[in-house]
Copies of this chain bind each other. A is one copy, B any other.
Amino acid sequence: MQDPSIEIALIGAGTIGLSFAALHLTQNPNCTITIHDTRPDLQTYIQRHLPTYLPENANQEPYLARLSFANELPTAVKNAQIVQEQGPENLEFKVAIWAEIERHAREDALFWSSTSGIPASAQSREMQDPTRLLVVHPYNPPHIMPLLEVVPAPQQTAEAVVENTLEYWRELGRTPVVVKKECTGFVANRLAFALFREACSLVASGVVDVKELDEIVQASMGPRWTVAGPFKSYHAGGGEGGLTSFMEKIGGTVKNCWDASKEDVTANDVSVGGKWQEDVCKQADEAYGVVDTAERDMKTRKVLSAVADS
């Protein structure tokens, strides 16, 4: 990424595509972006929706001036140094589009898929050179949240591709983390869904309702894990003996919780589509109606800035 100017092709103009466009435009003053999507109203659509992702009260013209639009894939990718895909979550689509992208893109272009679950090793099936592709999975929305899970295909994606990808995102002030195996759901969703399952189980048990559970997390783990992740937190909790000492002292409680969790998840049938689901969804509707994501994003920016400054 020594080149001060860089051209990026974004494939797919859904909400993730718009959010990534805003991220590149605001954090990387040297980039120009071509957005590809087959929708006929592409330019009008982007010009209408992108501004809600850009900083309020800023002059948006300089951002929009660095954008172009392409309904044809070859046009979109031909000059790009980065091709970033956020199309449908469909293996056949991805296999076909990467083979086509490879035919038209520069030989040194980086290929990134935003998929939340289809590994690069599967997407690259019909590529001539599968060493070029990896997954860059955002935590939505990427123009706000710092995390990018960088998931190379083990023994396939080239080391230099991984390094250049990390370098790009670090220069933009983001937090790219390499996931070493193409495990189901990658890491962030696996962690979040594990807690979510326990949350659903506790609500199904009638211990707390949906809103109370959210209050509990917002007043405890949320702020704690913003500053120190779970391992660092429990390591600190063990004092000078660290996590080893924490497990010696609290291991019994951890075991009791894990055992109770297993029993309750089974008793409450907390599987997707289980009987609990309708009630939990109804409680969420009643508690929150339609969530104001602009307010959520504004508060999230303040939280991130508080922890970054300190």
Contact = CB atoms under 8 A, between A and B. Distances in A.
Interface of A: 116-117, 139-140, 145-147, 149, 175, 177-181, 183-185, 187-199, 202, 205-208, 210-232, 234-237, 240, 242-244, 247, 251-261, 264, 271-273, 277, 280-281, 283-285, 287-288, 290-291, 293, 296, 298-300, 302-307, 309-310
A234 to B, nearest CB: 7
A226 to B, nearest CB: 4
Nearest to A283: B231
Given A183-B205, A258-B197, A271-B255, A145 B235 contact: no
B214 A187 contact: no
Contacts of A216: 147, 149, 177, 187-188, 191, 229
B305 A243 contact: no
B253 A116 contact: yes
A305 to B, nearest CB: 7
B210 A190 contact: no
A305 B285 CA distance: 28
Contacts of A291: 228, 232, 235-236
Contacts of A236: 288, 291, 293, 296
Contacts of A185: 253, 256-257, 260
Given A236-B296, A253-B116, A281-B242, A261 B231 contact: no
A242 B284 contact: yes
B194 A180 contact: no
Contacts of A196: 230, 234, 254
A300 B223 contact: yes
Given A184-B257, A229-B213, A224 B306 contact: no
Nearest to A117: B253
A173 to B, nearest CB: 11
Contacts of A283: 231
A303 B296 contact: no
Contact of A218 (B181, B228, B252): B228
B296 A302 contact: no
Contacts of A188: 216-217, 220-221
A277 B290 CA distance: 43
B230 A189 contact: no
A244 B216 CA distance: 22
Contacts of A254: 193, 196, 272
A271 B264 CA distance: 17
A305 B299 CA distance: 11
A210 B231 contact: yes
Nearest to A232: B214
A181 to B, nearest CB: 5
